[in-house]
Structure 1
Amino acid sequence: MGRSIAVLVALLAAAGCTVQPSGGDGGRRSPVHIDLPGHRTATATAGAGRSDGKTSGGRASGGGGSTAPDPVVLWSRGDTGRDVRELQARLRQVEWLYDGPTGTYDDLTEQAVAGFQGKRGLPRTGETDRVTWQRLLRMTREPGHWELYLMGGQPAGPPDPRCLTGRVLCVDKTSRTLRWMIDGRTVSTMSVRFGSQYTPTREGVFQVYWKSRHHVSTLYDSPMPYAMFFSGGQAVHFSYDFAARGYAGGSHGCVNVRDETAIAALYAQVRNGDKVVVHR
């Protein structure tokens, strides 16, 4: 019998298999590759322990029977890139995200993913694991270029030539960005949105003619903090609606900014008489 076992072990070794000693796994597991159609291949370790006490078996170690998050995390807070843009665009399609896509996995994206997970009985981690991603893929369609890059703004393009001299608020309707420029140097850049189809933001060269820190619109009875007026009732100002809903909404012609910290700093620097260029 002992001779037969020895021969069997030798045959298995020759075939490329390994016999593990009873009661152990040899200290390492073979990687498992998970192929997601059209996306990167995620690599996990089968059965490997996690620092949070979970295992890939789908249950928390230590009992309780609660379902653990999928161990293969595709994207999480701080990640950037085209894949994150697609995630954000698909979350917009199912109305869990109104901001972006920005290409950065920020706090709003994390909250949207957690909400999507909770609604479908998945662990509310806020991280996009393969189970969450596959569920989202089944509920959405492939986003086009507009959904990926234009709905949520994109990196600022080259400044208009009219922005290269003096002190200028250079507003680009194509990339949905505002550059604050002094003598051709970009001091700061921020995302903006514009008027709707029926109340468009005017294009051209203007000047800041009035600043109003705590302005409230008399026409629409809505707050316009840090307002810098440049054309009639149109101004660059902070928008609570833009901060909350992103590009799902629009202004009545003003240039909305959603980053209150950024526009507060901008408001402190801009003077009456500074140039405003609104272009495509």
Structure 2
Amino acid sequence: MKRIRIRRGLAAAAVVALAAGCTAQAATTGTPEAKPSAVESGSSTPTATPGKTASATPKATPTPTPTKTTPTPAPKVVMAVGAKGAQVRELQARLRQIAWFDGVPTGTYGTVTAAAVKGFQGKRGLAVTGTTDTVTWQKLLGMTHKPTADELNGTVAGRPAGKLDARCLHGRVICISKTSRTLSWVNDGKVLSTMDVRFGSQYTPTREGTFSVDFKSRDHVSTIYHTAMPFAMFFSGGQAVHYSADFAARGYNGASHGCVNVRDRAKISALFDQVRVGDKVVVYW
């Protein structure tokens, strides 16, 4: 009787044990315990997906086709020191238009012309050689106009007038630009004449600002320096606009003591006749 009870007890325990594990077994019935995935285990090795075969050969990265570059040809020499002729004269006249060459065009490429070319090249970010190569020549052609006969002979510089300051747009104004080194005679915004000018040195600078003509003297002589100042039009103390024989002879190699020098005698003479005492004078950069 006891044996029967013991067996029945063991059978009941087996039933209880089976009931306790049925859920987990139901999820894995007939299947071995699954290994943790790569994400769960922290492994960087991906788990192969059943039914798919992973390819062991990576795709080849296409090799870029090298781009062929054509080397830029070196600039060719157009003119250099020692050259002579009409093209050199044109070079000098064009440099004179933009205030790099101050002398009279001679047609001879010397040290003065080479220095002017160097200045032009340095200002434009070109190789500073003093030799006019194809790059320098094309740059200069683009910035200047074809010289006239008077420009080639040195009678006029052909320099364009500076951009008018707003103070020059109304009334009768002697408008003087230090940037372009030009004087423009302006009436109500219209430019009637333009001429090259030179200013004082760093020790005797020409004052900038708005002034008016307070005194005119056709044959004036400086009481301080005892030099001639023909067609003088005073606008700021002892500073005046006047003709300068030194400027006509030496160009920008010299400087004034603060006055505005004009080198074209005919133009300053005509200006002197038109300007009245009280007319405005504007000096600006």
TM-score normalised according to structure 1 size: 0.55
- Give the letter for the 2:184 counterpart: R
Cα distance, 1:214–1:102 mapped onto 2, change above 3 Å: same
| Pair 1:109-2:105 in alignment | yes
Which aligned pairs between 1:166-185 and structure 2 lie closer than 5 A?
Answer: 166-185=171-190
Does structure 1 retain, via aligned residues, the 8 Å contact 2:100–2:116? no
Hey, what's the Cα distance between the residues in 1 that align with 2:186 and 2:280? 10
Which residue number corresponds to residue 253 of structure 1? 258
3-state DSSP class of the match of 2:186? strand
Matched, 1:84 2:92: yes
**Secondary structure in 1 aligned to 2:226?**
coil
In structure 2, give the amino acid aligned to 1:242: F
SS at match of 2:78: coil
Distance 1:75 1:159, change over 3 A: same
In 2 relative to 1, CA 169–137 (structure 1 residues): closer, same or farther, beyond 3 Å? closer
Q: Secondary structure at the match of 2:105?
A: helix
Unaligned segments of structure 1, at least 5 residues: 1-35, 41-69, 90-99, 111-126
C-alpha separation between the residues in 1 aligned to 2:113 and 2:251?
25
Query: Contact (CA 8 Å) 2:95, 2:116: kept in 1 or not?
Result: no
What is residue 143 of structure 1 aligned with on the other side? 118
1:186–1:198: structure 2 CA closer, same or farther, 3 Å change rule?
same
Deviations 1:231-275 (A, max 9, x none): 000000000110110000000000000000000000000000000
CA offsets per residue over residues 135-179 of structure 1, 9 Å max, x none?
A: 769986951237899xx9952222000000000000000000000
Structure 2 unaligned segments of length 5 or more: list them.
1-74, 124-139, 144-156
Among candidates 131, 135, 160, match of residue 165 of structure 2: 160
CA–CA distance in structure 1, aligned partners of residues 176 and 117 of structure 2: 30
CA RMSD of aligned residues (A): 3.8
Cα distance, 1:84 vs. partner?
Answer: 2.6
Rounded to whole Å, the distance in 1 between the matches of 2:265 and 2:208 is: 24
Partner secondary structure for residue 246 of structure 1: helix
Aligned sequence identity (%): 54
The answer to whether the 8 A contact 2:96-2:159 is kept is no
**3-state secondary structure, aligned to 2:229:** strand
Structure-to-structure mapping, 1:184-203, within 5 angstroms: 184-203=189-208
| Pair 1:222–1:136, CA change in 2 (3 A) | closer
**Paired residue for 1:217?**
222
Q: Would you tell me which structure has more helix in proportion to its own residues?
A: 2
C-alpha distance in structure 1 between counterparts of 2:112 and 2:222, whole Å:
42
Who is 1:37 aligned against?
76
| Rounded Cα–Cα distance in structure 2 between residues aligned with 1:167 and 1:182 | 5
Match for residue 207 of structure 1 among 212, 225, 235: 212
Residue correspondences, number: 178
Task: Call closer, same or farther: CA 1:224–1:158 in 2, change over 3 Å.
Answer: same
Amino acid at match of 2:119: G
Cα offsets for 1:189-243 (capped at 9, x unmatched): 0000000111100000000000000000001111100000000000000001101
1:210 is aligned with what amino acid? F
- Aligned partners of 1:88 and 1:188: how far apart in 2? 18
Are the counterparts in 1 of residues 101 and 113 from structure 2 also a CA contact under 8 Å? no
Q: 1:101 touches 1:153 (CA, 8 Å); kept in 2?
A: no
**CA 1:75–1:263 in structure 2 vs 1: closer, same or farther (change >3 Å)?**
same
CA distance in 1, matches of 2:268, 2:162: 20
Task: Please state whether the residue corresponding to 2:118 is helix, strand or coil.
Answer: coil
Question: CA–CA distance in 1 between the matches of 2:166 and 2:250?
Answer: 32
Contact 1:86-1:143 at 8 Å conserved across structures: no
